[in-house]
Amino acid sequence: MNQPSFSASLPVIRLLPKTKPQAIRHGFPWVYANELVLDRRAKSLAAGSLAVLEDAERRPMAIVAVNTHSRITARVLDRDLDAVIDQAWFEAKITRALKMRETLYDAPFYRLVHAESDGLPGVVIDRFGDTAVVQPNAAWADVMIEPLAAALAKVTGVKNILKNASGRSRSLEGLDEENGVLLGAAPDGPVPVSMNGATYLADLTGGQKTGLFFDQRPNHAFAATLSKGARVLDVFSHVGGFSLAALANGAASALAVDGSDPALELAMGGAEAMGAADRFQTRKGDAFTTLEALAAEGKTFDVVVCDPPAFAPNKQSLEAGLRAYERIARLAAPLVSEGGYLVLCSCSHAADLSKFRNASARGIGRGGRRGTLIHTGFAGPDHPLLPQLAESGYLKALFFRL
């Protein structure tokens, strides 16, 4: 006798008659609350439960993870209704993700799993050698964290797995912010990471996000090619992403500006580890205020980089965010020497490339400068973009020559 499929034991949730299923069938991985029949039975499902998604005609479409407390009520896990969501399933997903990263990078420092783009909705895993940091940003990943961690250890051989529960995404899912150790132990101090010839110090337990922003790697590299012999200003520097890469590739000097003392200390530690401390300075302060102060001091730089946090994390904040990006460009442009370069970045998925580029160009003009756009950068290939999900392609970097 045939065994019933895994999905046969799961509850069912159904699309509303008005909801067209084509987008989901063509790869869109989310189902919103206003697209589902959320009756009492559906609402009784615990956050993170697995279910079978059906269309309005009761035809099964996929195995999904459900959280009725979230606007993204269902996340597609597998379109194969015979799939079993267990440790072996996680192993297959992570193995596929790892194969590409090992093809791309010589050393095990990268984004290993980029959520929906790697088939694990809401799950981010960054690898730092024999330590991995997991961000389970969806309820189902919290519920299944043990088989996820076991699969991660088995596939990669990492000795330490940390859980990072910070960030806006978890709050939108109604989840806690309790970090923890899932395997092994937390590193005793910052972890050195080599990228683009530079050495960065990543704080995996107390730093921003998972400790380092791997997504900017190719943009750090391009900016570094413009920085040979240059005076570089790195605003919103975090642990020195752009400035340390510039120093490693021949910049004459670099000034890192950030509002965080710990981040600037890590940046200086990286410069010292590279033997570049004599060409590196830090300045703590609000970015807008510091840009104004540097202009008042008559300072100019050959390369100015501004890599702020997301000013427009959602549609509601878009207009205010675009004004902030314009203001950054307006304040930064006068600090760029004639023929120098201004690099403006955005990690706001709500501000698409066209809107961000227009806001940046307006700011440059209002700063009394003219510029040509010589390059547009995006996240590295360890942050793959799912074509059906615009949010997965959040990072933009604009390189202007003024």
Q: What per-residue confidence (pLDDT) applies to 373?
A: 98
d(CA 401, CA 146) in angstroms, rounded, equals 50
Q: Where are the beta strands (DSSP E) in 39-185?
A: 49-54, 60-66, 72-78, 109-114, 123-128, 131-136, 160-163, 180-183
112 is written with which tokens?
A: 């290993």
Is 347 labeled as catalytic in the residue annotation? yes
pTM reported for the whole predicted model? 0.94
From first to last of its 402 residues, what are the pLDDT tens digits of the chain? 456 677 778 999 999 998 888 889 999 999 999 999 999 999 999 999 999 999 999 999 999 999 999 999 999 999 999 999 999 999 999 999 999 999 999 999 999 999 999 999 999 999 999 999 999 999 999 999 999 999 999 999 999 999 999 878 888 898 998 999 999 999 999 999 999 999 999 999 986 777 899 999 999 999 999 999 999 999 999 999 999 999 999 999 999 999 999 999 999 999 999 999 999 999 999 999 999 999 999 999 999 999 999 998 888 999 999 999 999 999 999 999 999 999 999 999 889 999 999 999 999 999 999 999 999 999 999 999 999 998 888 999 999 999
Cα distance between residue 373 and residue 128, in whole Å:
34
pLDDT of 2 = 57
DSSP letter, residue 364: H
Which of 347, 359, 379, 397 is labelled catalytic?
A: 347
Burial class of residue 23 (count of CB atoms within 10 Å of its CB; 0-12, 13-18, 19+): middle
CA distance 290 to 277: 22
The answer to whether the CB of 219 falls within 8 A of the CB of 303 is no
DSSP β-ladder status, 231-235 and 301-306: parallel
Please write down the HEC assignment for all residues of 76-99.
EEECCCCCCCCHHHHHHHHHHHHH
What is the separation, in whole angstroms, between the first and last Cα of the chain? 73
Where are the alpha helices (H) located in 173-233, listed in sequence order? 217-225
DSSP assignments along 194-262, one per residue: EETTEEEEE-TTTSSTTSS-GGGHHHHHHHHHT-TT-EEEEES-TTTHHHHHHHHTT-SEEEEEES-HH
- CA–CA separation, 30 vs 28, rounded Å? 6
Give pLDDT, residue 171.
87
Closest CA to 371 of 400, 340, 339, 337: 400
- Could you count the other beta carbons within 10 Å of the beta carbon of residue 228? 13
pLDDT for residue 186: 95
Domains of the chain: 6-78 (2.30.130.10), 87-183 (3.30.750.80), 191-401 (3.40.50.150)
